[in-house]
């Protein structure tokens, strides 16, 4: 049986990456620059990754794309790249992977309950709780929502969830709480996004990739700038 080749793209956090997997075997993952300049690095990284393994887009069966929530610009970069690459390769199936689920699966120790937090600006965080099932996968216990650190800690105290995420140091600074908090950053990865394809029931045409924003961007909130001449 020929196993599918999946190209993973994750650009929703400060530590972006691209990866290729075959089945559940990771061929290679390349980390992008960490300055949220993923648009400058992602295409060269994809080209290098494929060339090093004598692959081309013609060999790729599926794209796994991180769709957020996270960096507004980063989310747009990943989705735009996937759509651009699929334009001339319309047979490639695309799968949007929620970045909160990606992070939960990367949480060290694989605790029974995980509360994923991602900084959402204005002293608040995107938060979503996951519970591990008998197969070792995580089911979403709550919808992703914007919460204060105090409400996140209150919810985690009730369930005993371990709080983790890419912005955990900021969370600790703001909340002052370390109990049940994994105090090293846990980032979503392209490798995990690709591995998530088998867990996600919907795979679509590339035009149907949709971002998970939760909150409008600062530019959208403020509206267009006015210039007085």
| Residue 153 confidence class, pLDDT cut points 50, 70, 90 | very high
Q: List CB contacts of 189: < 8 A, sequence separation 6 or more.
A: 8, 10, 17, 19, 29, 102, 106
Q: Token pair 């061929």 is at which residue?
A: 27
- Same domain, yes or no: 86 and 31: yes
Distances (CA, A) of 65 to 59, 110, 168: 17, 23, 23
Distances (CA, A) of 138 to 104, 114, 119, 141: 7, 9, 21, 9
The residue range of the domain holding 69 is: 5-99+188-220
pLDDT in tens, 110-125: 999 999 999 999 999 9
Give the global pTM: 0.89
Lowest mean pLDDT among 17-21, 26-30, 32-36, 89-93: 32-36
- Same domain, yes or no: 10 and 37: yes
pLDDT in tens, 164-207: 999 999 999 999 988 899 999 999 999 999 999 877 755 566 67
- Same domain, yes or no: 89 and 194: yes
Residue 104: inside a domain, yes or no?
Answer: no
- Same domain, yes or no: 117 and 95: no
Q: CATH number for the domain including 164?
A: 3.30.420.40
Residue 63: inside a domain, yes or no?
Answer: yes
- Same domain, yes or no: 114 and 84: no
- Same domain, yes or no: 164 and 196: no
Residue 183: inside a domain, yes or no?
Answer: no
Rounded Cα distance between 108 and 125, Å, is 21
- Kindly write down the DSSP assignment for every residue of 87-146, as one continuous string: TT-TTSEEEEE-HHHHHHHHSTT--SEEEEEEE-STT-EEEEEEEE-TTS-EEESS--EE
């Amino acid at each position: 049986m020929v196993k599918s080749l999946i190209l993973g793209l994750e650009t929703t956090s400060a530590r972006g990456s691209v990866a290729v997997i075959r089945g559940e075997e990771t061929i290679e993952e390349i980390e992008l620059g960490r300055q949220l300049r993923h648009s400058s690095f992602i295409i060269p990284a994809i080209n290098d990754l494929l060339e090093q393994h004598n692959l081309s887009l013609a060999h790729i069966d599926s794209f796994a794309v991180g769709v957020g929530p996270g960096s507004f610009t980063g989310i747009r970069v990943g989705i735009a790249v996937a759509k651009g690459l699929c334009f001339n390769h319309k047979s490639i199936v695309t799968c949007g992977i929620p970045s909160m689920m990606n992070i939960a699966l990367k949480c060290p120790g694989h605790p029974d309950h995980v509360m994923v937090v991602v900084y959402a600006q204005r002293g608040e965080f995107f938060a979503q709780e996951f519970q591990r099932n008998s197969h070792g996968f995580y089911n979403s216990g709550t919808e992703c929502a914007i919460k204060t650190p105090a409400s996140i800690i209150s919810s985690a105290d009730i369930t005993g969830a371990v709080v983790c995420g890419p912005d955990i140091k900021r969370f600790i600074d703001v909340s002052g709480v370390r109990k049940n908090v994994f105090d090293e950053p846990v980032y979503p990865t392209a490798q995990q996004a690709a591995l998530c394809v088998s867990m996600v029931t919907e795979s679509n045409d590339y035009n149907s990739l949709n971002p998970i924003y939760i909150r409008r961007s600062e530019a959208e909130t403020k509206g267009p700038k006015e210039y007085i001449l």
